[in-house]
Chain A
Amino acid sequence: MGGYGDIKMIDENGLRMDGRSATEVRPITIETGVVPVADGSCRMTWGTNDVIVAVYGPMEAHPRKIQRQDRAVLDVRYNMAPFSTTDRIRPGFNRRSREISKVTADALASVVLLEMYPRSKIRVEIEVICAEAGTRCVGLTAASVALADAGIPMTDMVVSVASGKINDVVVCDLNKEEDNYGEADLPMGVLPNTGEIVFLQMDGDLSPEQFQTAWDYNVNAAMEVHKIMVEALKNGGAK
């Protein structure tokens, strides 16, 4: 969080720099089957975020030492393409992408019925082609759609949204400037069927009231995004 509180990001009418209200999310499109050689895939654009997820498996887990006798292992990789940001990213794993891969895997493992595929592996490859803000949320949400497209059984899809604080006002779904100069960021992964949470991170500064508002914004936005996900899967159809 940059915390440059002197940059004005909300006008007199309560509208943000891109014209959205406090609770409005950026435009979202979802398309399934975009990686023809994968078992399931999804492209999600969210604002100018552009994320492609491919799912491979369930397949044999090798080397053998990674196998689990009672369930499948979920191998999740989050990566940003070198040209996805203003300053080029050097290819290869870094600490940030490794952490995001891990929390994404933990969130997905909570909904995928891994015990149905003992000794096997399911690979989830999240590639950020163009980044704006909130790529981890887009990646996790798109991964849920790609897993569904691959026909992998899940108790629910994870919908991930982040709310934050700009100019001491809580707003939903931060864009690039708001993320850079905002004062807090609260990404969450919600299960729309039950309202339960499988993914939670936060950094910045929120009062107890602001925290509750951000939480509620996320849960409400997740329900909206879930409708778009279901629609995309109906149109694309699971293979």
Chain B
Amino acid sequence: MAIPLVPKILRSHLLELASKDERIDGRGRWEGRQTKLEVDILPRAEGSAKVTMGDTIVYAGVKFQLMTPYSDRPNEGGLMCSAEVRPVAGRNWEPGPPSAESIELGRVVDRGIRESGCIDVKSLCIIPGEKAWQVILDLFAISDDGNLFDAFALAAIAALKNAKVPCERFEVGKDHLLDVSSMPIMCSYHKVGNRFVYDASKKEELGGDERIHITLGEANHVHSLQKGLKGIFSADEFVEIMEKAKDTSKELRKLVNSVVGE
């Protein structure tokens, strides 16, 4: 993504708002935008979800392919997660090979899902050493108004939760739901006006400093962390957002369960 010139006036405006404990769109410091989750909306994908967070809109689609297991792991299938932010999503996103930003997006979401162990790669094996499923999770942004990370992570887990393994099409048994044993949830915090806020909008991202992404599993186990962009934070600040992430992830988990079913 081409980073546009940020007027100093935006930064100073955000700083001034922060001193009054306000945000540019009137939200509270730990308040997220209105979030809508829809699942099973793409007839050609085996699992799908659409997340709308304010003006940020993303899709996630799950596809399955047959693969030969790697020789050092003959009993395991594969999981692949990739994010694409194409120029459709905003005027600063450019065409061409995947940018560093969209690769980071895909990898951070991938780590949260992989490390939480919610997909048992052993269960993806069909014939050891010969045939296994490769689960491919594609994340696709339609409109970027900030915090693509959380939107992608939410769409990702919801799409996996309603994914159906297409055994009949590949003639390897009966179709069944993909086994997803837990629910990793990502919460992202952005330093805006010298303090962290939850779910930054595009303006806050442009006029802010570093960001931190935390993926929590069930029972608040930490599965992935990422600090991005230039900036310095203290241990106390981190403790504070970690506590907030525990509450927020609980709420988001409820949302996914209410849409996908437990």
Using a CB–CB cutoff of 8 Å, the interface residues on chain A facing chain B are 34-38, 48, 50, 52, 54, 56, 59, 77, 79, 81-86, 88, 91-92, 123, 125, 127, 129-131
Contacts and interface: CB of A to CB of B under 8 A. Distances in A.
B261 interface: no
* Chain B interface main SS type: mixed
B43 A37 contact: no
B95 A82 contact: no
A37 B138 contact: no
11 contacts: A54-B88, A82-B61, A83-B42, A83-B59, A84-B42, A91-B84, A91-B98, A91-B138, A123-B87, A125-B87, A127-B140
B90 A37 contact: yes
Contacts of A35: 57, 88-89, 142-143
A81 B143 contact: no
B136 interface: yes
Contacts of A129: 42, 59, 140
Given A36-B143, A92-B97, A125 B62 contact: no
Contacts of B61: 81-84
Contact of A125 (B82, B84, B86): B86
Contact of A38 (B62, B138, B143): B143
Size category of the binding interface on chain B: 20 to 34
Interface of B: 42-45, 48, 55, 57, 59, 61-63, 65, 82, 84, 86-91, 95, 97-98, 136, 138, 140, 142-145, 169, 202
A88 B135 CA distance: 11
Contacts of A85: 44
A36 B84 contact: no
B143 A131 contact: no
A77 B63 contact: no
B142 A52 contact: yes
A64 to B, nearest CB: 15
Contacts of A50: 42
B63 A82 contact: yes
Contacts of B90: 37-38
Contacts of B91: 37-38, 56, 59, 123
Given A35-B88, A85-B44, A131-B44, 15 more contacts: A35-B89, A36-B145, A54-B143, A79-B86, A82-B82, A82-B138, A82-B140, A83-B62, A83-B138, A84-B61, A86-B44, A88-B65, A129-B42, A130-B42, A130-B44
